[in-house]
Amino acid sequence: MSEINIDFGREKRLGFPEIIYGAQKSIEQLESILDHYRNRKMNALITKLQAEKARVLLGRFPEGIYDPQAQTYIILYERAAARHGVVGVISGGTADAPIVREAANTLAFLGYEPLCYYDIGVAGLHRLQAKLPELDTCDVLIVVAGFEGALPSVVGGLLSQPIIAVPTSVGYGVAEGGKTALHAMLSSCANGILVMNIDNGCGAALAAVRIMRRTNA
């Protein structure tokens, strides 16, 4: 029996198609999945795709674009219709950039134009404070941080938007792997902070889309 069983009804049910998690699928599985998408001329987004696997896929599906930093592989058979709604994506440090980009690429894939603000973490608060007026115009804020993951707490105390916190696996020692940032975000003393799995930039973008479709319907 085939190892592939794509949920092509997902876009109709949920408003976005099935996203393909690339990290632990084999080349053969990914090729077989992309064949199904190509046959239907359906846009495809693969996340967490390692560079060596991307190289092989680009050989067979040269219509795709691979972002080596974000580890996303996107094939657009048809450009997504532009959507209303602005997501601000903020990161604590430069090293969080891959996850910022994963979120931003996912939003772009679905027709949204994100605003990205890198490296405005709590160790130098003035950097965040300088951006507050711009951030306040966003519909949703995605806040990406590694190490101690304090940025969502500070942002959540200053701005009233829905805030989606994404811990990253950036850090070492007890921070390594992102659990410290995750637990800090879940424990935030700022109220109503929403949290995603470690390094789940794509999921944060999809959650933002769930919110914006309601907001801007």
Residues 176-205 that bind a copy of itself (CB under 8 A): 176-200, 202-205
User: What does the block give as tokens for 217?
Assistant: 């319907």
Least distance CB 101 / a copy of itself (angstroms): 9
Q: How far is CA 99 from CA 27, 90, 116, 173, 216, in A?
A: 23, 10, 11, 20, 25
The answer for residues whose C-beta is within 8 angstroms of residue 12's C-beta and 6 or more apart is: none
Which region, judged by CB under 8 A, interacts with a copy of itself, from 35-43, 52-60, 73-81, 115-123? 115-123
Least distance CB 78 / a copy of itself (angstroms): 21
Query: Which of 46, 49, 103, 209 is close enough to bind a copy of itself by CB under 8 A?
Result: 209
Q: Which is nearer to a copy of itself, 13 or 62 (CB)?
A: 13
Q: Is 172 in the site for a copy of itself (CB under 8 A)?
A: yes
> Which residue has 């696996």 as its token pair?
169
Least distance CB 115 / a copy of itself (angstroms): 8
Q: Which is nearer to a copy of itself, 28 or 78 (CB)?
A: 28
Write out the binding residues for a copy of itself, residues 70-89 only, by CB under 8 A: none
Query: Which of 42, 58, 83, 161 is close enough to bind a copy of itself by CB under 8 A?
Result: 161
Dihedral Cα 197, 198, 200, 206, nearest 10 deg: 30
Write out the binding residues for a copy of itself, residues 22-51 only, by CB under 8 A: 23-26, 29, 33, 48
